[in-house]
Amino acid sequence: MHVLVLGGGVSGLSCGIRLLEAGHTVELWARELPPYTTSDVAAAVWYPYRASPQDRVTAWAKRTFDVLSALAKHPETGILVERGVELFTEAPPDPWWAPCVPSLRAATPEELLPGFTHGYSFEAPIIEMPIYLQFLLARFRELGGRLDLREVRTLDEAWRASPVVVNCTGLGARAVVGDDSLFPIRGEVLRVAPPPVRGFIFDESETRGISYVISRSKDCILGGTAEDGNPSLEPDKAKGAAILERCRRLLPAGARFQVLEHKVGLRPGRATVRLEAERVGQHRVIHNYGHGGAGVTLSWGCAEEVAALVIAGS
């Protein structure tokens, strides 16, 4: 079957790969491809952030955790599995995503930083997006997928090329399918080097904003922000300085590094992820968007459900 995938970020590429592996002929249209997509700005570490509903997200996240962990055995993917901590100033409930993470445990006193009384410690995949997205692109092409840089404004335009369309347009779905429930969740990060620590550190107790440190092989991402409804892609110097100040609390005293880059991305916010099949006359579309801050974290689980929906409707 010929399938047209819309969107060149991690969701679109993952769907394209699973569809090709299932024996379909796949064409992918995208306004932008790596390294110019929203996915390229992601830190990224496996963590189901700002995505609902919980039951479906847990299943998608668990499957993706397993796939990313397996891919980490291959250096060319840009994935590392590292232990990190999520820190709290008071006792938290057990995380709802605990079933996804076999290594989850309470943080030891040695793992707690000054000012924090509780925490989780767990191993999770850290994904170096510039490397990983190029790996996905290469895999898509290797399997015979076709890429076309073009912007789609309506599903009718896509259906002229294929009766089956997979909609992975992220925030673009506001225009493509008129989904006004989508909204940008603006995120700013700093890329620094050399990495001042190993693994990752999360702090959501900070009243001035979320803070995280995610170390990669040669650099480190410091974050971040989560501004609902702000569509600006212009870096804000004041917010960058605030990120730096908050993250220093999570780093060893006197840690030295250089800020290499200040980046902004717009996460596709929605009350719930939209993953469902829709039929319009003789045409079909499988929607897969609205992943919030968890696009990478849900990518393979969602891609496999998309592939199953394509087969189920054939």
- Segment 217-234 mean pLDDT: 96
Given a cut of 90, whether residue 111 has pLDDT beyond it is yes
Q: Tell which residue, 211, 204, 223, 231, has the closest CA to residue 263.
A: 223
Domains of the chain in sequence order: 2-312 (3.40.50.720)
Tens digits of per-residue pLDDT, 115-150?
Answer: 999 999 999 999 999 999 999 999 999 999 999 999
Q: Which residues contact 143 (CB under 8 A, 6 or more apart)?
A: 17, 20, 21, 26
DSSP state of 100: G
User: CB atoms < 10 A from the CB of 80, how many?
Assistant: 18
Q: Which residues make beta-bridge pairs with 185?
A: 228, 267
- Binding-site residue numbers are 38-39, 152, 169, 212, 267, 292-297
Q: Does 53 have pLDDT greater than 90?
A: yes
Q: Answer yes or no: is pLDDT of 170 > 70.
A: yes
CA distance 9 to 7: 6
For residue 134, the model assigns a pLDDT of 98
CA 48, distance to chain mean position in Å, is 9
Q: What pLDDT shows up at residue 297?
A: 99
Residue 314 is predicted with a pLDDT of 67
Cβ–Cβ < 8 Å for 137, 34: yes
Give the Cα separation of 256 and 235 in Å (integer): 23
Which residues make up each annotated binding site for D-dopa? 212, 267, 293
Mean pLDDT of 85-100: 96
Which token pair is 132?
Answer: 């990983």
Q: 78 near 127, Cβ under 8 Å?
A: yes
Residue 208: predicted pLDDT: 63
200-203 vs 274-280, strand pairing mode: unpaired
pLDDT in tens, 248-279: 999 999 999 999 999 999 999 999 999 999 99
Q: How much is the pLDDT for 205? A: 79
Chain segment 69-80, per-residue pLDDT in tens:
999 999 999 999
Encode pLDDT of 182-220 as tens digits: 999 999 999 999 999 999 999 977 666 689 999 999 999
Which residues make up each annotated binding site for FAD?
A: 38-39, 152, 169, 292-297
